[in-house]
Amino acid sequence: MGKRIIVALDGMSEEKAIEIAEMLKGEVWGFKVNDLLDTMGPRQCLRTFRRYGNVMADPKLCDIPNTMSNRSRAYFGDSEERAQGLVIAPDILTIMACAGIDGMRAVVEQRNEFFSYTEIAAVTVLTSISEEECNLIFGGPVKSKVLEFARTALIAGCDALVCSPQELVFLNQFPELQRLTKITPGIRPEGVSAQDQKRINTPYQAILNGADLLVIGRAITQAKNPLEAVQTINEEIAEAGIEK
Ligand code: C5P
């Protein structure tokens, strides 16, 4: 069975992140880097973590189209690497759907220009945002906003969506959205604290509801034994019995 866990290497030193990646390589789909992109720089960060599996770069780009385009370039390669025929890029790169269609399209166009294999994933409504807060920020309920963002991401040419496991069944009712890879954070195995996350579900339920990939951070990285935590979640995923 294909691996489905993306381990979020958040809030730790480069050394600690490498130690965890070394421990979990082969057991997971890959690793998500966020604040490490800032401390290490995107190029060095990508070069380091691709040794341990696939890499999801999660800078959540959100700006005017020209700036999104400029910032995304750092993820698709530099001239020195290209001269050597190397393409070092993330397998997935995140951008914010609320940046709008032109901003998302600017990043998709950069990716195409670089002939990169990177899937562009649009983040819809963060899983830490509650129903009430979504109304305040975006002026509508979570489901309708996630649907709106998903449709604009599709128009912009994105390949994947980041949403909570609670919106999966709803989104998959729309045939046009079925071809987008669904990536879901907000995953908490039974009995693990939700912390700052609001719209959560278990790994088993998320897979059953149609998630392709599960982003899991603290439930693994702060476990006493991260390898054991991954193996338990992998068993739970296998129980759902949905092959990818
Ligand atoms: O530790 P935890 O499992 O809550 O980590 C979830 C990760 O997923 C964090 O790195 C967070 O930035 C990211 N994320 C999220 N909600 C989104 C998109 C990304 O929690 N909608």
Query: Which range (2-11, 196-205, 210-219) has the least confidence?
Result: 196-205
For 145-173, what is the mean pLDDT? 96
- 237 vs 28, 76, 85, 127, 204, CA distance in Å? 12, 32, 38, 20, 5
Residue 119 one-letter amino acid? E
- For the purposes of burial, counting CB atoms within 10 Å of the CB of 27, is it exposed (0-12), middle (13-18) or buried (19 or more)? middle
pLDDT confidence band for 85 (50 / 70 / 90): confident
What CA–CA distance (Å, rounded) separates 171 from 34?
26
Active site residues: 60
What CA–CA distance (Å, rounded) separates 4 from 88?
22
What CA–CA distance (Å, rounded) separates 244 from 242?
7
Write down the pLDDT at residue 1.
Answer: 59
pLDDT tens per residue across span 175-198: 999 999 999 999 998 888 888 888
Judged against a pLDDT cut of 90, whether residue 240 lies above it is answered with no
Write down the pLDDT at residue 196.
Answer: 87
pLDDT tens per residue across span 205-232: 999 999 999 999 999 999 999 999 999 9
pLDDT tens per residue across span 15-74: 999 999 999 999 999 999 999 999 999 999 999 999 999 999 999 999 999 999 999 999
Ligand 1 midpoint to CA 126 (Å): 8
Q: How many domains does the chain have?
A: 1
Atom 11 in ligand 1: residue holding the nearest Cα: 185
The closest alpha carbon to 122, from 61, 172, 173, belongs to 61
Ligand 1 midpoint to CA 215 (Å): 7
Probe target for ligand 1 pocket from 127, 138, 167, with the most ligand atoms within 8 Å of CB: 127
Q: What is the per-residue DSSP string for 30-48?
A: EEEESHHHHHH-HHHHHHH
Atom 10 in ligand 1: residue holding the nearest Cα: 8
Judged against a pLDDT cut of 90, whether residue 86 lies above it is answered with no
List ligand 1's pocket residues with C-beta within 6 A: 8, 10, 34, 123, 126-128, 162, 185-186, 197, 215-219
Residue 37 one-letter amino acid? L
CATH at residue 199:
3.20.20.70
Judged against a pLDDT cut of 80, whether residue 2 lies above it is answered with no
Sequence-separated (6 or more) residues with CB below 8 Å from residue 237: 1, 4, 5, 203, 204, 207, 214
Give the relative orientation of helices 14-24 and 42-49 as an angle to the nearest 10 degrees: 30
* Parent domain of 217: 5-243
CA atoms within 13 A on the CB side of 132: 1
